[in-house]
Homo-oligomer: A and B are copies of this chain.
Amino acid sequence: MVKKVELSDDLKEIAKFARVMSHPVRVYILKKLSQLNSCCYSGDLVDELPVGRSALSQHLKELKHAGLIQGEIEAPFIKYCLNKENWAKLKKVFAVFLDDAPIDVSSEKKISLKLMNTKE
């Protein structure tokens, strides 16, 4: 009889990142920001995307809350750009999950994926 344990933090983190990417508008924003090492403004996005201002703001909030983007006040606008550290983390986490060669981020060496939490 196998024991029921809690799912690992690794698994939960993947699920959390995936959750953020589970809406096309958020994928669009992430892709745009990662592509050109660029930045964007809510006002521009609302013109480009099929979504209203308040809904867009919610998506930005979620991305912010997940630590994937950050806003910087710039006169009457807010300039959003990628949080490179966490973006790199997301990439690494997915690379490991997808069994590809791990991305070299900082000095971490962990490349295995834990499926269950172990008490220690």
Contact = CB atoms under 8 A, between A and B. Distances in A.
Given A1-B47, A50-B6, A22 B18 contact: yes
Contacts of A14: 21, 24, 27
A40 interface: no
Contact-residue size bin, chain A (C-beta under 8 Å from the other chain): 35 or more
Interface in A26-61: 26-28, 31-32, 34-35, 44, 47-50
A32 B100 contact: no
Interface of A is mostly: helix
A105 interface: no
Nearest to A45: B2
B21 A15 contact: yes
A113 interface: yes
Contacts of A49: 4, 7
Interface of A: 1-2, 4-7, 11-12, 14-15, 18-28, 31-32, 34-35, 44, 47-50, 90-91, 94-95, 97-100, 103, 113, 115
